[in-house]
Structure 1
Amino acid sequence: TVAETTSKVNRSSSPSELKITDMRYALTKVMGGTAIIRIDTNQGIYGLGEVRDAADVRYALMLKARILGQNPCNVEKIFKSIKQFGGPSRQAGGVCAVEMALWDLCGKAYNVPAWQLLGGRYRDKIRLYADTPEASSPEEQQRLINFRVKDQGYTWLKMDVSIGELKGIPGTVVNGKFWEDSKGNLNQWGDQRNYMSYGNTAHPFTQIQITEKGLEHLQQVVENVRNMVGYEIPISTDHYGHFDLNNGIRLAKALDKYRLAWFEDMIPWQHTEQWRTISDAIETPTTTGEDIHYLENFKPLIHNRSVDIVHPDLASSGGLLETKRIADYAEEFGIAMAMHQAGTPVSFMANVHCAAATQNFLA
């Protein structure tokens, strides 16, 4: 009989008979309260997923009734049925958390890693990048960089090159005072109490400009870090401030000589044509994508060759399989992929498996 001939087969479960029975969550302290979800099954195995960057866990919980009773190994089918409930940035957190948990479950059911389910691996080591630590003195910053590189083993770093560095330096920014908060800061993270604040105003609409004196100061900031790090280690940049593409191009040209790895999110990702203008005007690679959800919203950037590198956050872009699809699609156009991640070990390991299975991955 079939039962007799398969009685000694070593398997972790009966995948074809799996059913989702529950979804629960736990709040961590990561990023101010990032939720980890657990999807349970009728066979005692479970999968873990993460709701990105302290987004509301209800983005995931509202999907519970839509997945109960389904076989978690039908990952793509379930994803297609729930993707309509995701949106840009953290709004996709619930859909992506469920997708992560389903791959975790599927891997446990078949006793194989997620990268194998995604088609196999291109690499068995994943390169990571980390922020370059800021410090009050050059000596302290050098010590922190040495810790990142020599002690922690990072081979790729990222740093902020923000007009916030110009605070209190006269003649460096045009129209900055108008946008400062009560503490005299250009707070680019937004103010929920003031919709018209600097952080809530899109880059093309602030009319902030950087003067030549300001550019020279930011050049010195980057030069100091480059001299500490050397040229063997790539340095990416981010968080410049809210100003238009013209000033973005001026800043990028001023920093081109330092051979930076990329300029990230200089303007909102939706401005596809403006991204193409920036990319055509400068020598340093450009990237965006951490708030884009699903392949269809990456396609305009890829088709138009608006950026040199796509930069999805797996916890917003659709999870493991959708992120691999984004990378594979970009690869056809000669565009590389870097991955954005800021969260718990759950999304970290999801990124590791996706990166292992993707050829055009950078870091």
Structure 2
Amino acid sequence: MKQSFSRRSFLTKGAIAGAGVIGATAFSETFGKTYTNKIDDQPKLSAPSAIKITDVQYGIIGGSLFVKINSDQGIYGCGEGVDAIRGSENLVDSFGRRLRGQSPFNVHKIFEDIRRGGHFGGGQSGMYVAVLSAIETALWDLSGKALDLPVYQLLGGKFRDKVRVYCDTALYRVRFPTPEDFAKAATDAIKNWGFNALKFDLDYAQDPDKYDRYNWTASPGEISRMYNQLAAVRKAVGPKVDLCVDMHGRYDHVTAQAIASKVGDLNLTWLEEPIPAENFDAFKALTQETSVPISAGENVYLGHGFKQLLDNGVDIIMPDLQKCGGLGEGQRIANLANLYYVPFSPHMVASFLGAMACAHVCASVPNFHLMEWQSYFHTDEMYKKIVIYDEGDWVKDSFVTVSNKPGIGVDLNIEAMREYKRGNAPFFEKTN
């Protein structure tokens, strides 16, 4: 007959054997039972250091790729990638196969193995790095949960408990907003949600004063329109509110010079990508010519790209941690910028999972400035439904409190996400 052996039977038999004159039965029902019950209360999993990845699941909702990395201890981690993720199923499958059987604690090694493995397969930018960003973030989340530590602690600790955010007012959804629309959007964001930092977009393809859709030089009418819109905001909110401006890289050097000169009296926090970020050298001349701080980086990948931005004088860097390489790479970029005395103000267009993941990095570096926050968090119920978070308000008085829970501190509500699945888009498939 096969011998039965367990921690319960071992402890109970040992207790009976040592009971002596007080009686084995009575002893086993008191002392032994107390100990065995305590053992039953403890998890029967292996030590955290022995945890292994079993598989990766993934789904696409809206413009985000969500990944869930599972382990042999029932613990999982979640991550998000944005923008360059359409048609990324083959990449997720490939990365998922490489993860199986590995320890999630080797985040940097796994990141570097996958990055180097893509040297001839697009591993320098784009979809490859965006998908890797989601994977890398999920590894941090899984590691934090396994060790019962928040991600910021795994990143070396925190400089701050709260992260200040600016609200992207998303006024681009209005076909052709007037200066009055700009002013109202600004005062509404302050009144309704308590923000003290705002961002507005200046590029409008439908501007009737535009020369044509392909000409990157703004007409005098466009320049006047841009100034009037921003002047209305500054008048409405006063001098103490941060006013950030985005041009989405849709203009040329001449226009960048003109608008930077025109808005000099409005005390802008930054002028974001008035020219495309592809030609790093062009930023050097621009930053030397203007007094308004120039920011860039949402479409730049990995530390290598940001070194070139920094070498060419960009005043504020804004990597998107959901596509530039993830949390560890984001921290490396911030620390690199710190050597140039340049502020770190990450771009963020993800869900609240991505926002909180980004906040952990912002808390962990000294040169953090501002983090982007989207107004859709307040206006689109989907963003509330697809995540699980029980630590109070997401944002208060323009600050996000960094979660102290293990991992990122925000979970995915996969059942709720099912409502937003579109067509044949993957929905938490397992990698092959």
How do residues 107-146 of structure 1 correspond to structure 2 at under 5 angstroms?
107-134=144-171, 141-146=182-187
2:245·2:272 contact (CA, 8 Å) conserved in 1?
A: yes
Q: 2:99: which partner in 1? A: 67
Tell me the equivalent position of 1:36: 66
- 2:183–2:232 contact (8 Å) kept in structure 1: no
Q: Which runs of 5+ in 1 are unaligned?
A: 178-185, 187-197, 199-205
SS at the partner of 1:126? strand
Which residue pairs with 2:130 in the alignment?
93
Amino acid in the other structure paired with 2:54 = T
- Aligned pairs for 1:262-277 within 5 A: 262-277=270-285
For residue 53 of structure 2, what is the aligned residue in structure 1?
20
Q: What CA distance in whole angstroms lies between the structure 1 residues aligned with 2:169 and 2:365?
A: 26
Separation in 2, partners of 1:53, 1:99: 16
Partner of 1:214: 222
SS of the aligned residue for 2:165 comes to coil
Distance of 1:237 and 1:210 partners within structure 2: 16
Task: Tell me the equivalent position of 2:356.
Answer: 349
Report the equivalent of 2:251.
243
Of the three residues 231, 242, 256, the one matched with 2:264 is 256
Q: Is the 8 A contact 1:39 1:101 kept in 2?
A: yes
The alpha-carbon distance between structure 1 residues 257 and 138, as it changes in their structure 2 partners (threshold 3 A), is closer
How far apart are 1:359 and its partner, in Å? Answer: 1.0
Deviations for 1:25-51, whole angstroms, at most 9, x for unmatched residues? 1232x33xx221100000000000112
Counterpart of 2:208? Answer: 168
The 1:89–1:259 alpha-carbon spacing in structure 2 relative to 1, beyond 3 Å, is farther
- Please state how far the C-alpha of 1:236 moved relative to its aligned partner: 0.9
What is the correspondence of 1:194-343 to structure 2 with a 5 Å cutoff? Answer: 198=214, 206=215, 208-239=216-247, 242-304=250-312, 306-343=313-350
Q: Which moved more, 1:35-44 or 1:237-246?
A: 237-246
Q: Report if aligned partners of 1:26, 1:37 keep a CA contact under 8 Å in 2.
A: yes
Amino acid paired to 2:144: G
Normalising by structure 1, what TM-score? 0.81
Question: CA 1:308–1:12 in 2, change beyond 3 Å: closer, same or farther?
Answer: farther
- Correspondence 1:103 to 2:140: yes
Higher relative contact order (CA 8 A, sep 6+): 2
> Following the alignment from structure 2 to structure 1, what is the Cα–Cα distance between the partners of residues 202 and 44?
52
Distance, in Å, in 2 between the alignment partners of 1:256 and 1:131 is: 21
Structure ID, larger Rg:
2
Label 1:242 to 1:140 Cα distance change in 2 as closer, same or farther (>3 A). Answer: closer
- Cα distance, 1:352–1:10 mapped onto 2, change above 3 Å: farther
How far does residue 82 in structure 1 lie from its aligned partner after superposition? 0.8
Q: 2:247, 2:271 within 8 Å by CA — same for their partners in 1?
A: no
Q: Which residue of 2 aligns with 1:81?
A: 113
8 Å contact kept, 2:166–2:199: yes
Matched, 1:156 2:186: no
How many correspondences in the alignment? 322
> 1:13 and 1:115, CA in 2 relative to 1: closer, same or farther beyond 3 A?
farther
**Distance 1:330-1:9 versus aligned 2 partners, 3 A rule:** farther
Instruction: Check the 8 A contact 1:52/1:90 in 2, yes or no.
Output: no
Q: Compared with structure 1, are the counterparts of its residues 236 and 296 closer, same or farther at alpha carbon in structure 2 (3 Å cutoff)? A: same
How far 1:221 moved relative to its partner? 1.5
- For 2:162, the aligned partner's letter is K
Paired residues of 1:15 and 1:73 also in contact (CA < 8 A): no
Match of 1:190 in 2: none
Moved more, 253-262 or 213-222: 213-222
Task: Give distance in 2, aligned partners of 1:11 and 1:263.
Answer: 55
Deviations 1:255-280 (A, max 9, x none): 12111111112222231221010001
The TM-score, its normalising length taken from structure 2, stands at: 0.69
Judged with a 3 Å threshold, the aligned counterparts in structure 2 of structure 1 residues 298 and 133 are, in CA distance, closer, same or farther, namely closer
Hey, what's the Cα distance between the residues in 2 that align with 1:117 and 1:329? 19
SS of 1:284's partner is coil
Percent identity over the alignment? Answer: 31
Bigger shift: residues 271-280 or 87-96? 87-96
SS of residue paired to 2:83: helix
Distance 2:80 2:326 in 1: 10
Partner SS for 1:100: helix
**Which residue of structure 2 aligns with residue 195 of structure 1?**
none
